[in-house]
Amino acid sequence: IGESWWKVGEPDLIPYLTAIMAAKPDAVIFCTGGKSMANILKAIKATGMAKKVAICIHTATDHAVLKALGPEAPEGVMGTMDYHFYFPETPENKAFVKAFKAAYGEPPGFPAFHGWNTAHFIAKAFEKAGTVNTEKFIDALEGLRIMSPVGEIEMRACDHQVVEPMFLGVTKKSPKYNFLIASDIVTLPGPEIMPSCEEIMALRAKAKK
- For the domain that residue 68 is a member of, what is the CATH number? 3.40.50.2300
Is 39 a domain residue?
Answer: yes
172, 150: one domain: no
> Is 200 within the bounds of a domain?
no
- Where residue 153 falls among pLDDT bands split at 50, 70, 90? very high
Number of other residues whose CB lies within 10 A of the CB of residue 106: 12
Span between the terminal Cα atoms of the chain, in Å: 32
Residues 60 and 98 in one domain: no
If you compute the radius of gyration of the chain from its CA atoms, what whole number of angstroms results? 20
Residue 124: the pLDDT is 98
Determine phi and psi for 154, rounding to 5 degrees: -135, 140
Write the pLDDT tens digit of every residue in 96-128: 999 999 999 999 999 999 999 999 999 999 999
Q: Measured between alpha carbons, how far is 56 from 171 in angstroms, rounded to an integer?
A: 10
The mean pLDDT of the chain is 96
- What's the pLDDT score for residue 197? 96
Average pLDDT in the 137-155 region? 98
Count of domains observed in the chain: 2
The residue range of the domain holding 116 is 91-161
pLDDT in tens, 34-92: 888 999 999 999 999 999 999 999 999 999 999 999 988 999 999 999 999 999 999 99
Tell which residue, 193, 97, 80, has the closest CA to residue 148. Answer: 97
Q: What are the pLDDT digits (tens) for 6-15?
A: 988 888 999 9
The residue ranges of DSSP E strands in the chain, in sequence order, are 27-30, 54-57, 78-81, 145-148, 151-155, 162-163, 166-172, 181-188
